[in-house]
Structure 1
Amino acid sequence: MNLALWIATGLLATILLISTSKMVVPRERIAAVGHAGEWVLDFSPGALRAIGTLELLAAAGLILPAVLDIAPVLVPVTAVCVALLFAGAVTMRLRRGERVTIVADLVYLALAVFVAWGRFGPEPFGG
């Protein structure tokens, strides 16, 4: 179970780190990639930077507290915050009518819930 939680945590952190690209890539270029990226046009550059900053902090909060053994309870707390972030992403996609592109956000939401449940419940750090 611990290994599965670490894998899910690593996947989430990687996805969050990759998605911080919206902080440096112009939103017009992201939107030009395809239908899945058009949502960025609904947000100002400042809002995209704020979302990217939250994602960067979340990636760090999922990994660093456990690896450094400094306040490891922050890992499941961060996982709950990541679940809320992806719940917001799912809501945004539903409002935009992007039913096809919602699948990935639902998977990430499920991973975040799994990590939160596993680290608060059966496999907390520090036994």
Structure 2
Amino acid sequence: MLDVKHLSTYINRTPQDVYAFASNPENLPIWAAGLASSEVKKDGDVWVADAPFGKVKIRFVQANAFGVMDHDVELDSGVVVHNPMRVVPNGDGSEFIFTLLRQPGMSEEQFVEDAQAVEKDLRTLKTFLEDDS
């Protein structure tokens, strides 16, 4: 069993607005610096990007009405990391939730650093979407 951290932020936008923006892989460089530090390009059924830790292939779940944005990130090494991600209604806005799974062999320090990177990305997403409204 892997250690898990659920990281979330409230965004003062409708779930539909948040989902439309965050589920579009082309928007990742705007808010997800921990994953995409360059333009994200479509290559067949995957999206390809330069991440801070190397080139990655990203596969998102199909568009859906449930706010699910789960995606798999394939590293250069061939290792695939599953990333559960959701947006759900919360009052007049949305709760954006990212589930961080501690990967095998990851130290506690690395897990904390990974969580901090995700939290920074969530703050960026919140700021961007709330400033854009």
Determine if the TM-score, normalized by the shorter chain, exceeds 0.5. Answer: no
Select the structure with the greater relative contact order (CA < 8 A; seq sep ≥ 6).
2
Mark the structure with the bigger radius of gyration: 1
Alignment TM class, shorter chain as reference: 0.3 to 0.5
Structure with bigger strand share is: 2
Q: Return the TM-score normalized by structure 2.
A: 0.33
TM-score by length of 1: 0.34
